[in-house]
Chain A
Amino acid sequence: MKKINSIFYLLLIPVLAWLLISIVVPHLDLLFKSFRFENDDGLMVFSFNNYLAFFEDDIYWLTFVKTALYSIAVTLLAFLVTFPVAFYLTKVVAKKYSRFMVLLLLIPIWIGELVTLYGWMILLSDNGVINQFLISSGIIDAPIEMLYTHFSMTIGLLYMSMLFMIIPMMSALDSLDDSLIEAASDLGASKWTIFRQIIIPYTVPGIVSGGIIVFMLVIGDYVAPNILGGKSSLWFTEQIYNQFLSTFNWNEGAAFGFLLLLLSSSIVWLALKLTGQKLDRVGS
């Protein structure tokens, strides 16, 4: 017994060291930095100014509010778009085909976000595939402006995060016994009632855990708003990036980073409270 223990601890050391060196220490360093502020004399002092700047300058908190609202909207959209897909893949189509279809869903992730987004640029541009097709088939005369708008940005964000919504929902739906649906239908429940009373309540943990992942991915995304979003698509992550790279103000950037973590976590917490979910149940 003692031997197992010593091996266990020996194996634990690299794990703990890894967590400590690559996650805890840098975060503590950033946390420390976020409370340092350069005063008018050029000296670094302890201060809350970096955090206060977020609330004082409306450009910062307005951008955050915008980013958060957008992320919530994208999360809801992701649910609406992917629920039928998840349902189809688990309940309608035969198992052997559904595996292959899940593989197809995975492919965009393998290619990488940047390349997929460039693909969307080719599709959505003024002289792009979609506009060319619509014009040549006589449906429209002038190209519809799709690229560099909130529309294209939403598509990009949705496309990149969809899969993370589908997988948890599929695993929840998978464990739903078909006989429950059959029984309800035998007892005369309408399709809508079955959907509302059986399928949705059963899938809620999957929906919520998928929702949390999608929300966090979208609110922390940098590439899609930057490439597909238009001239007014200022995303909060972009402001953090600017603080680090354009202004060289790492202290402010660090403070913004922690604010993003704190505020987005509290949004998730609030959403869990409102839907009456518990994090440990969602996680399973």
Chain B
Amino acid sequence: MRKLLVLISTTALLLSSSLAISQQTLRVLTWKGYAPAKLVKAFEEETGIKVKLTYSNNEEMIAKLRATRGAGFDIAQPSQDRIAFVQKKYPIYQEIDFSKVNTDQLITSMVDAVKKNTAVNGKVYAVPHCYGTTGLIVNKKLAPDANDWSDLWNEKYAGKISYRLKRPLLIATAFGMGKDPFALYNDKKAYKALMKEVETKLIEGKKYVKNYWTSGDTQVEIIKSGDANVISGWDGKGWTLHKTNPDIDFIAPKSGALGWIDTFAIPAKSKNVEGAYKWINFMLAPKNAAYFTNKEGYGTASKGATEFLNDEIKANFSRSFTKEDIDNIKWHPPVPEGFEKIEAKVLDRIKAAK
């Protein structure tokens, strides 16, 4: 009996001590590269909060938080178009208290756009962090003319094409075919029909594809190794590759690069809400945001960061985007509920096709 008591009291002690620790930790669910080691260290020194990082992507973030109904992490970084429909169905995030966010240091138009796109029943669920585009990463020496989404099924580059077979690629294919999928977001039937056309196009073009890349690492690997010359990719990755191999660069497709904004959102059962707001304000402070952008290449929502940016970063942007390209960026609107089901079948059929 005494042993049992000892056992119970030690477990209780362990549990309570782990609770005490969790008050001083911040569990961050983010993308690789979004929390550079130097900034994490500076944040820990400044606030005394220990940071624990978990790397993920949009789909996994949603699945992880859904499994725990919004517990297990104190802050997450989903893309702005993937918040509203999830929040409507499974309340995994909590409302952002903008009085705690230092909005003075943010680009107003981006804050407004994110507020609009992530609102559910008048409550806002995200703060913008960074933005970028999906376009083409091309080896310009070997494929000098590749400049549009339609080059991803161009016979000219047979065997040297690669892309990530996920929903952005379906959207991109539609744009490459001269259609506007975003205009059909309120018409499920028409969207389904468009996806059918996209499916046919990508199955026809499959014989030219080397392989579908699946992660940021495989994306870099496949063009770096020369296994592919024309791939879909993120601007930051393309510019990082350009640094090591000047032949490779990011190109904004003529029919429009796809623009995304990644955000900060606070899970419903976050145990360290105060720490989460501190993290948001810290990461978006001009100098810190500039450090992130200089390192990773993605644009930041921090207003004052521009003056701390390297010339190289500015050069990247002007090299890949003309004035028309910028105006032509297709920003992802919030994904309507149920659309992912349509797309998943299409993706499966393309992957299974000969």
Mark A residues whose CB is within 8 Å of B.
Answer: 57, 59, 62-63, 121, 125-128, 147-148, 226-227, 230-232, 234, 238-239, 242-249
Contacts and interface: CB of A to CB of B under 8 A. Distances in A.
Contact of A249 (B211, B341, B354): B341
B353 A232 contact: yes
Given A126-B225, A126-B226, A246-B167, 15 more contacts: A127-B225, A127-B226, A127-B227, A226-B214, A231-B206, A231-B209, A231-B211, A231-B212, A232-B351, A234-B352, A242-B347, A243-B344, A245-B59, A245-B63, A246-B166
Among A226, A230, A238, A245, max chain B CB count under 10 A is at: A245
A168 B344 CA distance: 41
Contacts of A227: 214, 218
B83 interface: no
Contacts of A246: 59, 166-167, 340, 343-344, 347
B63 A248 contact: yes
Contact of B60 (A62, A148, A245): A245
Contacts of A231: 206, 209-212, 351
A234 B348 contact: yes
B227 A125 contact: yes
B194 to A, nearest CB: 18
Interface in B167-185: 167
Contacts of B187: none
Given A59-B352, A127-B226, A121 B206 contact: no
The 10 closest A-B pairs by CB, nearest first: A148-B211, A245-B59, A247-B344, A234-B351, A234-B352, A246-B344, A127-B226, A245-B63, A126-B227, A247-B341
Nearest to A66: B352
B349 interface: yes
Contacts of A148: 210-211, 227
A239 B348 contact: yes
A168 B155 CA distance: 50
A243 B206 CA distance: 23
A64 B66 CA distance: 28
B142 to A, nearest CB: 13
Interface in B304-354: 340-341, 343-345, 347-349, 351-354
A105 to B, nearest CB: 28
A277 B59 CA distance: 44
Interface in B14-52: none
A242 B348 contact: yes
Given A59-B348, A231-B209, A234-B352, A121 B221 contact: yes
B84 to A, nearest CB: 14
Contacts of A127: 225-227
A120 B66 CA distance: 35
B114 interface: no
B62 interface: yes
A234 B345 CA distance: 13
A248 B226 contact: no
Contacts of B341: 247, 249
22 contacts: A59-B345, A59-B348, A62-B352, A125-B227, A126-B226, A148-B210, A148-B227, A226-B214, A227-B214, A227-B218, A231-B206, A231-B210, A231-B211, A232-B353, A239-B348, A245-B60, A245-B62, A245-B63, A246-B167, A246-B340, A247-B340, A249-B344
B166 A232 contact: no
B66 A248 contact: yes
Contacts of B166: 246
Nearest to B340: A247
A100 B312 CA distance: 53
A243 B343 CA distance: 11
A226 B211 CA distance: 11
A195 B166 CA distance: 52
A6 B55 CA distance: 46
